[in-house]
Amino acid sequence: NAGVTQTPKFQVLKTGQSMTLQCAQDMNHEYMSWYRQDPGMGLRLIHYSVGAGITDQGEVPNGYNVSRSTTEDFPLRLLSAAPSQTSVYFCASSYLIKDTQYFGPGTRLTVL
Amino acid sequence: DQQVKQNSPSLSVQEGRISILNCDYTNSMFDYFLWYKKYPAEGPTFLISISSIKDKNEDGRFTVFLNKSAKHLSLHIVPSQPGDSAVYFCAASAGTGGGNKLTFGTGTQLKVEL
């Protein structure tokens, strides 16, 4: 049982490049979400999903796209990276409604 | 607008003593509160939670207290151990419609000294 896995661990992009951050979980959780952590800001919700085929925006969705074609995977896409997207990104999953969320190890992204 | 606030960025405590981490919130719709612990280069890990129908929840060395009228919660760690040194995040969620959408505070860095 690997829990929540994220790839890559580190990534450096140039402004305007696109990339996908991968997230997978093997706990059959319905709920998955993406957060970003910035200094002095805590963790902020980017997008979330309550099941395959269903996604919704969080607090800071601009510049990011998500899709949920399977229960296990929830990739986060940056269409045109900007320096303001330099951050540490965490994926999390849980059963629905007030359940404990399990976080992945994070992806540290730098946009030059 | 920061709906969940942790006003102390850092806290230093001696080993064996009590650590008290504080959290304030402004959204009266929050009904479920959690504490997460985070080590460097790792994801946050769940520590303890409390529903708004309770005012205290205890798990081993960790106790969370909720004061709804003051919109305040606190995490007590007794006794504190060096391995407790980490960043602690307070988080909150609102109603079943919000599902598991969490609003986090900015974190408190706890250092437990020998």
Nearest to A68 by CA among A89, A99, A47, A45: A47
Tell me the per-residue pLDDT of B81-108, one tens digit each, with 9 for 90 and over.
999 999 999 999 987 655 578 999 999 9
| Residues in chain A with pLDDT values less than 70 | 97-98
Facing residue for A101 by CB, picked from B6, B41, B100? B100
Facing residue for B100 by CB, picked from A4, A59, A97? A97
pLDDT for res B100: 76
How many other β-carbons are positioned within 10 Å of the β-carbon of residue B87? 20
Which residue of A45, A100, A108 is the best one to mutate when testing the B interface, meaning the one whose CB has the most B CBs within 10 A?
A100
A–B interface: beta-carbon pairs under 8 A: 63
B62-67 and B10-14 as β-strands: parallel, antiparallel, unpaired? unpaired
pLDDT for res B85: 98
Whether the CB-CB separation of A37 and A87 falls below 8 Å is answered with yes
Q: Establish if A88 touches chain B: CB-CB under 8 angstroms.
A: no
B95 Rama sector, left if φ>0, alpha if ψ -120 to 50, beta otherwise = left
